[in-house]
Amino acid sequence: MIKKVITQALEAIAKEIEAVRETPSTDVLMNGELEKISGEYIYTFESQNQGLKFAEEIRAKMDGKEFKVHPVEFKDKKVRLEFPENKGPKVDEVYLEWENDYVLKKMQEHLFTLQEKSKEIPQLKALLKPEKNFKESTESPEPVFDDLRNPSQKEAIEKSLKNNILYVWGPPGTGKTATLGFIIANLLKEGKRVLFVSNTNRAVDVGLLSVIDALYEIDPGFSLQNTTRFGEAALDDPRLEDILFEHQVKTKLDSRKADAVQLSNTLSKYESLQEKIDDMMRNGEEVPEKLDLECQLAGNKIDEHGGVEELEDKIDRLMNLNERYELKKKQLVATTMAKVCTSELFYGISYDAVVVDEGSMAGIPYLLLMAAKSKNHLIIAGDPMQLPPIAITNDREAREFLEQDIFTYVSKSDTTEALFNWHDENPEFTCFFDVQYRLKDDLAGVISSVFYEGRLKSDTTEEEMKSLPDTTGSVALVDTAKYNPYLEQETGERGFKPINEVHHKLIEESLKRLTRNYAPENIGIIVPFRNSVYKVRNHLWESGFKDIEVGTIHTFQGREKSVIIFDTVMSGEWQNGSMRHYSVRPFDEAKNGLSVPRLLNVAFSRSKELLVIIADMQHVERVYGKKFLGRLLHSVKQISI
């Protein structure tokens, strides 16, 4: 069964690689500065495009000419590219195109290896067939946690210490990340070696900071130098700086180099003295007693290190550092799943426990490889009612496999009801966090009833209630129908690229009111289409709102803002003299299945204080009246302020 799943994963990844090669990644870099190093022409650009670091070959276009550039380094949000010739002291703009298939190819390599030895790895069976392969340790330690953990969170911590497999279902605002911090801290307290992974650098940083907080609570004597953050940190937090693997390696190497220089000076002094004595003896001169004694003392120091050859070897070893050995020594390693797949330093290293955050967003191929790293404990945390993995292949079978999250795959569920039935029938290896702390009761009640069968309760403390703004509710539905909105399509562009100018103006008007009470960085705008991000962003830029973050639903997964504006964008579109109303994939379960409630759940649960929904309710009622979006907005309308 395991081999069959791995074969399926390999076939799906092969299709995805084909699709990636057909639709290469692109970017435009500006204001590059020349560094001429050893005859090479290296230009430095500011960039946050992580895909560039994995590009094996980059095609560049500049001033009408095409050529190849090679990535040299990606660090501190800057990329250094080697150009084939001198393009002057500055490059104003260069267009780049590359095949972003490096991570996929590395996954493919690992899966081929895994296929051969899958029978030797019991955790693969535990991942895919937990009902038959669940094991519980009879000698489990007593967990330690703070006073803020609720019963379901305590249950997860307890099970993580004794189970070989645990699925943690944590809806938005239920304290999943903080609890994972205590899970990992307890594992570390028991001397376990832990690998903590997630999909994004930001999620890894947030999770690692939760571990540090938990360790401070339950094991303050734990040395953070036993932990490492492998890869690029996304958050600018001083607690992460000292435990970045690159920083740790550099610090140790600098110290070793200082030792090497000292030993090298000792060897040089001895060789210099010996050479001086040899010259005097060859010339028949008498060697002064002081010089002879000095040489003997230097020789004794050399002998303490095993002689000249042994000392030379020691100096060579000090000047170099075995990074894989350094990584292997760490008790906790926090990184992305992509890094585990692409860095050779992880080859052959396994851990007592592997903890996966945002596991519902990770594809099954990734989780197969993470399970293979686990010897005793595998904890998968996520929310199957939020965003699933994404794929771009048009091959239906491959896409369905790659876009299925591990919760629905293992439970064989295609509805929320089936997922809860699976959880209810398997309490030994599943946990559901049933108390949320982020949303106010009105919106939380809608989300609980619509997305979680009414099982999600709210628990806002008195202190938190005081910090919330004095409003009667936390949802405002702006019905745009009275303004007669309509869609336009961007001309000369392929694909679906809708523009709703009326909604743009209403977003602008909403921001004028909101920014009286909220700082721009505390407001986020979510739209369902990537093209709409650029259109809304450009409109706001021209209107003077330059610091408001605009993104798709995927952009805001795992994040939160005080205020979220969710623009549904859709209205009727004038076609051949008449208004046409039609449904779109993100909102129509007939086209997008369980992904529709997942997308909407993320969009509706990102706000801490206020959610503003901009929707043409006339269009919604006409197209989605009996569908999920229509039912959801009808429920929201009842509580709208």
Rounded Cα distance, 192 and 248, in Å: 21
DSSP 8-class letter at 235: S
pLDDT-derived band at 38 (thresholds 50, 70, 90) equals low
Write the secondary structure of 516-564 as one string of H (helix), E (strand) and C (coil). Answer: CCCCHHHEEEECCCHHHHHHHHHHHHHCCCCCCEEECCHHHCCCCEEEE
The pLDDT value recorded for residue 493 is: 62
Does the pLDDT value for residue 471 go beyond 50?
A: no
Of 92, 179, 103, 192, the C-alpha closest to 144 is 179
| Residues 262 and 205 both lie in one domain | no
Instruction: Judge if 195 and 294 occupy the same domain.
Output: no
- pTM for the whole structure: 0.81
Per-residue burial over 265-283, b = 16 or more CB atoms within 10 Å of its CB, e = otherwise:
ebbebbeebeeebeeeeee
- Tell whether 254 is covered by a domain: yes
Alpha-carbon separation of residue 227 from 26, 248, 255 (angstroms) = 36, 10, 19
| Whole-number Cα distances in Å, 286 to 281, 299, 516, 548 | 7, 20, 92, 84
| 298 and 339 part of one domain | no
d(CA 56, CA 16): 17
Instruction: Mean pLDDT check: name the lowest of 271-280, 316-325, 585-594, 614-623.
Output: 316-325
Consecutive H or E run containing 218: helix 201-218
Residues 6+ apart with CB under 8 A from 477: 613, 615, 617, 633, 636, 637, 640
Question: What digits encode the pLDDT tens for the residues 423-461?
Answer: 999 999 999 999 999 888 888 899 999 899 999 998 854
Average pLDDT over residues 532-560: 91
> Which pLDDT score, from 0 to 100, does residue 460 have?
58
221-242 residue pLDDT tens: 999 999 999 998 889 899 999 9
In this prediction, residue 272 carries a pLDDT of 86
Same domain? For 298 and 335 the reply is no
Q: Which domain holds residue 341?
A: 151-235+330-432
Hey, what amino acid is at 126?
A
Confidence band for 220, pLDDT divided at 50, 70 and 90: very high
Measured CA to CA, the distance from residue 342 to residue 461 in angstroms comes to 44
Is 573 domain-assigned?
yes
Tell me if 9 is assigned to some domain. no
The half-sphere exposure of 160 on its side-chain side, counting CA atoms within 13 A, is 32
Q: Answer yes or no: is pLDDT of 462 > 60.
A: no
> Can you list the alpha helix ranges (DSSP code H) found in 98-198?
102-117, 122-128, 130-133, 151-162, 176-189
- Cα 602–chain centre separation: 16
For residue 438, give the 3-state DSSP assignment: coil
488 and 555 in a single domain? The answer is yes
Whether residues 267 and 296 share a domain: the answer is: yes
Tell me whether residue 270 is in a domain. Answer: yes
Q: Would residue 133 count as lying in a domain? A: no
Same domain, 182 and 50: no
Number of domains composing the chain: 4
Write down the mean pLDDT value for the chain.
90
Q: Are residues 556 and 631 in the same domain?
A: yes
Domain stops at, among 412, 432, 452: 432
**Domain annotation covers residue 633:** yes
The CATH number for 34's domain is 2.40.30.20
Mean pLDDT of 251-278: 81
599 and 534 both lie in a single domain: yes
Of 432, 448, 482, the one marking the end of a domain is 432
Pair 485, 584 in one domain: yes
Q: Are residues 231 and 380 in the same domain?
A: yes
230, 338, 568, 618, 634 from 621: Cα distances, Å: 49, 42, 13, 5, 9
Q: How many angstroms separate the CA atoms of 634 and 452, rounded? A: 17
Question: Do 164 and 91 reside in the same domain of the chain?
Answer: no
Mean pLDDT check: name the lowest of 148-162, 171-185, 466-480: 466-480
CATH number reported for the structural domain that contains residue 173 in this entry:
3.40.50.300
Residue 452 lies in a domain: no
Beta-carbon count within 10 A of 326 CB: 16
Judged on CB neighbours under 10 Å (0-12, 13-18, 19+), 573 is: middle
